[in-house]
């Protein structure tokens, strides 16, 4: 495993993109940063700008207005990067699966590395998902 990938896994800065979610998943993500869970122990920080980020957290059922924006944000992210889909809506559009406004799930728009199900997922589930992501990337270094 190269040293930069190792460093990437030890300090993933996350950017948080809500594509029309009901805010529950977003609140659960912010929960991970609170004193009870404190993901800064593992070097994770919430980046304000997409240019600083290594992990893109997508929540919500990508609606028609959001799809070009998701693509644009993905292109703006500097490249050894991973995408995490959080919540039932971004996995499979959840209860909006028959909606006229949600044509595609997130993984048909941009490549997704980890899926974290739940409506909303607990902070424990989000942390477990990130741990799985780190294990996966450590096993296959030339993934991205």
Partner 1 sequence: MIYLIYLIIFGFFLTALIGLFASWVDRKVTARVQYRVGPPVLQPLIDLVKLLGKETMVPKGASKFSFLAAPLLGLGSVILVSTILWFNCLNPQRTFIGDIIVVVYLLVLPSLSIIIGGFASANPLASIGSSREMKLVLSYELPFLLAILVPVIQGGFTLRLGEIITYQVQNGIILGSWSGFLAFLVILMCVQAKLALVPFDIPEAETEIVGGPLIEYSGTPLAVYKLMKNMLLFVLPFFIMILFMGGFRLSGAHWINGILKYLGLVALITVIRNTNPRVRIDQAMRFFWGPMTILAMMAVFLALKGL
Which residues form the interface with partner 1 (CB under 8 A)?
2-5, 7-8, 10-11, 35, 38, 40-41, 43, 48-49, 51-52, 54, 76, 78-80
54 or 88: CB nearest partner 1? 54
Half-sphere exposure of 47 (CA within 13 A, CB side): 19
81 or 104: CB nearest partner 1? 81
Q: Shortest distance, CB of residue 63 to partner 1, whole angstroms?
A: 23
- The secondary element (H helix, E strand) that includes residue 48 is none
As a whole number of angstroms, the distance between CA 142 and CA 71 comes to 23
Q: Shortest distance, CB of residue 58 to partner 1, whole angstroms?
A: 18
- A 10 A CB-CB count for 135 gives 11
- A 10 A CB-CB count for 134 gives 17
Q: Shortest distance, CB of residue 71 to partner 1, whole angstroms?
A: 16
Are 113 and 133 within 8 A, CB to CB?
yes
As a whole number of angstroms, the distance between CA 42 and CA 106 comes to 27
Q: Shortest distance, CB of residue 36 to partner 1, whole angstroms?
A: 9
Query: Locate tokens 């959840």: which residue?
Result: 94
């Amino acid at each position: 495993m190269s040293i930069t990938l190792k460093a990437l896994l030890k300090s993933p800065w996350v950017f948080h993109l809500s594509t029309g979610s009901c805010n529950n998943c977003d609140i659960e993500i912010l929960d991970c940063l609170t004193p009870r869970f404190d993901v800064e122990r593992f070097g994770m920080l919430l980046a304000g700008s997409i240019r600083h980020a290594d992990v893109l957290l997508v929540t919500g059922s990508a609606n028609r207005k959001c799809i070009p924006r998701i693509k644009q944000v993905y292109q703006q992210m500097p490249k050894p990067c991973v995408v995490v889909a959080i919540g039932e809506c971004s996995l499979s559009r959840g209860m909006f699966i028959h909606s006229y406004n949600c044509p595609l799930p997130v993984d048909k728009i941009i490549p997704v590395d980890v899926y974290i199900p739940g409506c909303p997922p607990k902070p424990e589930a989000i942390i477990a998902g990130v741990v799985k992501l780190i294990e996966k990337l450590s096993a296959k270094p030339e993934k991205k």
